[in-house]
Structure 1
Amino acid sequence: MQFSPAVSTIADTIQLSLSPVFMLAGIGALLNVLAGRLARVIDRARELEQLHPRSTGPEHDRYVWELRILDRRMKLSNIGMLLAVSSAMITCAVVALLFIAVLGRFHIGRYVAVLFILAMVLLTSSLLAFLLEVRASLRANRVRVELLEKR
C-alpha cells in the first residue's frame, strides 16, 4: 500500500511552514523599501550627472562629493537586495523541504535548520546593508554649514 500522509500531518507541516512564510512577507516588504530607495538614488544621480559638466569650483566639488555618496548608496542597496533575495530563495527551499521531508518520510531536520539559519544570516546581513545605506544618505542630506546662518 502506498504511503499517503494524513490530513493532520499536512496541517502540521503547514503550521511549521508559517514562520518562514511570514519571514518571506517581511523580506518582500524590505525589498520594496530597498527598490524604492534605489530608484530615488538613481534619479538623483541622473540629475547630478546632467549638472556636473556645467559646474565649476565649489559647486562642481559638491556634485562630485554627492555623486560618490550616491554611488556608494547604489552599491549598498544592490548588496542589500541581493542578500534579501538570497534569503528569500533559501526560505522558499526550507518550506519546500519541510513538505518533502513529511511526504517522503525523510529525516532531514538538521539540513532544514541549517538552511533556515543561513536564511536568517542573509536577512540580517541585508538589514545591515540597509542600515549602512541609510547612514550614507544622512551624510549626503545634511544641511551644508555655509547655508546655516549663525546667530
Structure 2
Amino acid sequence: MMRAWILPTLLALCGSAVATGLVLGENTGAATALLLVFLVPAGLNSPLLFPKSIGALEAQRRSAVDGRPVVFWRPGCTYCIRLRIRLGRSARQLHWVDIWRDPAGAAAVRTANAGNETVPTVVVAGRPYTNPDPEWVREQLSPAV
C-alpha cells in the first residue's frame, strides 16, 4: 500500500520545500504557483482519484452478479488516470482492483497480458481488454445500468 503513495508524497514534499524557500525569499506569488505545479500531479497520481479498490476475487464475484466490468489499475499509471478521468461519474459503477495492493489482481493481469502487468486491463464478461477506449468501457455499462 505504501508504494502507491511514494510518488504523490515526494511531489508534495518537494513542492513544499521549494515553495518554503520562495516564501522565505518573500516571493509568495511564485511560491503559490510552484506549489500548485507540484500538487496537481501529486493529486493525479494518488489513489484518491480512483474509487475504492477491492480485491480481485471480490471484484470477479460482484461482476458475475451484476455484470459490470472489472478494471485492474495501479497508481501512477497515466493510462489508468486517462481512463478514470474520461469515464467521469461512470467510473463509480465499475469494480476497481489496485494490482499493487492485491497480489491476486496482479496475477490476473499477468495472465491476461502474457506475463506483463499492463494496466488498465478491463475484464468484461470474463474477457480481458488491455487499455480499451474509455467510450467503449462506458458503453459496456449501458446494459448493466
- TM-score, normalised via structure 2 length: 0.39
Name the structure with the higher helix share: 1
Name the structure with the higher strand share: 2
Q: Highest CA radius of gyration, 1 or 2? A: 1
- TM-score, normalised via structure 1 length: 0.37
